[in-house]
Amino acid sequence: MEKVRIGIVGTGYIGNVHGRIYSRDERTEIAALFDIVPERAELTAKTIGGKVCSSREELLANCDAVLVTAPNKTHKDIALSAIASGKHVFCEKPFSIGIEDAAELRTAANAGKGVFQVGHNRRYAPVYAKLKELLQSDTPHSAHIKMNRGELKNPVWTGDVNVTGGFLYETTIHLFDMMRFQFGEIEELVAYGSQHEYPEIDEFSIIFKFKNGFHCTFASSSDASWHFPFERIEVFCHHRTIMTEEMERLFDSRGMDANFETLSYHMSEKEEKWGYVQEDKAFIDAILNGTKPPVTADDGFKSVELVESVYKAINTGERIKF
Ligand SMILES: NC(=O)c1ccc[n+]([C@@H]2O[C@H](COP(=O)([O-])OP(=O)(O)OC[C@H]3O[C@@H](n4cnc5c(N)ncnc54)[C@H](O)[C@@H]3O)[C@@H](O)[C@H]2O)c1
């Protein structure tokens, strides 16, 4: 069987995470690397192989599937050129920045001849897959969700709103996608935000109401320290609380007393615990077997729509209805 030739655009932190995973997958071959800082691509080539390309065009001529792993603002253009060349595309989150760009990319992705998958890795993290499984046999009533960071300094561009599109695009969007995955489609939201540490709104309190009647509160801060757990979902059902702690642990407390069961994933490798291995496998499954990629361009678009709606709610004071 011919191997799927992988091309990586942006060989920084996450490009190398996916690259290492594909270098171990017998169905794939690291074929081409491109980074605007060529030394970074050269360093990556030393560890996982691949031809260091001097342009995106050269990369496209040497691969079947493109991983878009450069900073947020570049995603749309890189993804559009890969789709136009008939490639399969794995696009890191965020799908793109702004509704217009997201709509343009969605249209192109859905019309493209290759697979298009968005890198919302947490859907595959065992802790969140388990939460979904538990919620299949119960009815969640409400939840409290948080998604914090300690700083917007590493990588340096995470503090530049012109590159990220805003803090919500960089960090919070992970659990916006997770909310849809766990609890369904959103009907309306109200949001408050304020600015403290960085030159953008960097602190958020949001209330979401879902079409099925479920509702939740959501807190997100850019500079709350990296105190564990920086992300958590607490779900409340009938005489039951299920709580997650990052990708490490899940607690399931049922009944009228204080007993609870703990599931711990702390012994797994980070690449599996965070769902990267599983999402990368799903992308190749979709290419080779024709299965639907689990996080589609439509999902990517909806995350962007949620981010934009929260900013709009804060800037206008309006309640947003979908
Ligand atoms: N899903 C996740 O868990 C996750 C984790 C980290 C990052 N990300 C996303 O992945 C993307 C990259 O993040 P990172 O942490 O790897 O950043 P990074 O700064 O470590 O790496 C980005 C690389 O892209 C290169 N680059 C910049 N502009 C480019 C261009 N136009 N063409 C080619 N290369 C370019 C940079 O030189 C750098 O080497 C971001 O969009 C980020 O939001 C997702």
pLDDT, tens digit (0-9, with 9 covering 90-100), for 159-191: 999 999 999 999 999 999 999 999 999 999 999
Q: Residue 265: which of 277, 247, 252, 253 has the closest Cα?
A: 247
Q: Whose CA is nearest to atom 4 of ligand 1?
A: 14
Please give the full DSSP string across 193-221, using - where no structure is assigned: EE-SSSSS--EEEEEEEETTS-EEEEEEE
Question: If you ran DSSP here, which 8-state letter would residue 265 be given?
Answer: -
Residue range 243-251: mean pLDDT, rounded:
98
What is the whole-number distance in angstroms between the Cα of residue 157 and the centre of ligand 1? 9
What is the whole-number distance in angstroms between the Cα of residue 216 and the centre of ligand 1? 31
Q: How far apart are the first and last CA of the chain?
A: 46
Residue range 19-23: mean pLDDT, rounded:
98
CA–CA separation, 235 vs 132, rounded Å? 11
Cα 254 to Cα 20, 138, 237, 243, 301, distances in angstroms = 40, 11, 9, 12, 36
Give SS3 for 290. coil
In the chain, where are the structural domains located?
A: 4-122+276-295, 124-270+304-321
CA–CA separation, 95 vs 102, rounded Å? 7
Pairing of strands 65-68, 4-9: parallel
Ligand 1 pocket list (CB less than 6 A): 9-15, 34-37, 40, 69-72, 74, 92-93, 119, 121, 155, 170
Q: With beta carbons less than 8 A apart as the criterion, state whether 283 and 123 touch.
A: no
What is the whole-number distance in angstroms between the Cα of residue 66 and the centre of ligand 1? 14
What is the whole-number distance in angstroms between the Cα of residue 70 and the centre of ligand 1? 3
Structural domain 124-270+304-321, CATH architecture: 2-Layer Sandwich (3.30)
The kind and range of the H/E element at 321 are strand 320-321
pLDDT at 37: 98
What is the whole-number distance in angstroms between the Cα of residue 321 and the centre of ligand 1? 33
pLDDT at 152: 97
pLDDT at 258: 86
Question: What is the residue-averaged pLDDT of the chain?
Answer: 97
Q: With beta carbons less than 8 A apart as the criterion, state whether 93 and 71 touch.
A: no
The atom number, within ligand 1, closest to the CA of 75 reads 41
- What backbone phi and psi angles, to 5 degrees, belong to 169? -70, -30
* Residue of 92, 101, 105, 164 to mutate, ligand 1, most atoms within 8 A of C-beta: 92
User: Per DSSP, what are the bridge partners of residue 283?
Assistant: none
The atom number, within ligand 1, closest to the CA of 169 reads 43
Q: Residue 28: which of 293, 284, 319 has the closest Cα?
A: 284
What is the whole-number distance in angstroms between the Cα of residue 75 and the centre of ligand 1? 9
Q: Whose CA is nearest to atom 25 of ligand 1?
A: 10
Residue range 277-289: mean pLDDT, rounded:
98
pLDDT at 141: 98
Q: With beta carbons less than 8 A apart as the criterion, state whether 118 and 295 touch.
A: yes
CA–CA separation, 174 vs 277, rounded Å? 17
Q: Predicted confidence band at 28 (pLDDT cuts at 50, 70, 90)?
A: very high
Give SS3 for 282. helix
Q: What is the torsion angle, in degrees rounded to the nearest 10, for the CA atoms of residue 205, residue 100, residue 97 and residue 87?
A: 140
∠ CA 118-124-127, rounded to 5°: 140
Question: If you ran DSSP here, which 8-state letter would residue 80 be given?
Answer: H
The atom number, within ligand 1, closest to the CA of 40 reads 39
Per-residue model confidence as pLDDT tens digits over 89-123: 999 999 999 999 999 999 999 999 999 999 999 99
What is the whole-number distance in angstroms between the Cα of residue 14 and the centre of ligand 1? 6
* Residue of 9, 13, 55, 160 to mutate, ligand 1, most atoms within 8 A of C-beta: 13
Domain 4-122+276-295: give its CATH superfamily: NAD(P)-binding Rossmann-like Domain (3.40.50.720)
Per-residue model confidence as pLDDT tens digits over 211-243: 999 999 999 999 999 999 999 999 999 999 999
What is the whole-number distance in angstroms between the Cα of residue 212 and the centre of ligand 1? 36
* Residue of 40, 69, 276 to mutate, ligand 1, most atoms within 8 A of C-beta: 69
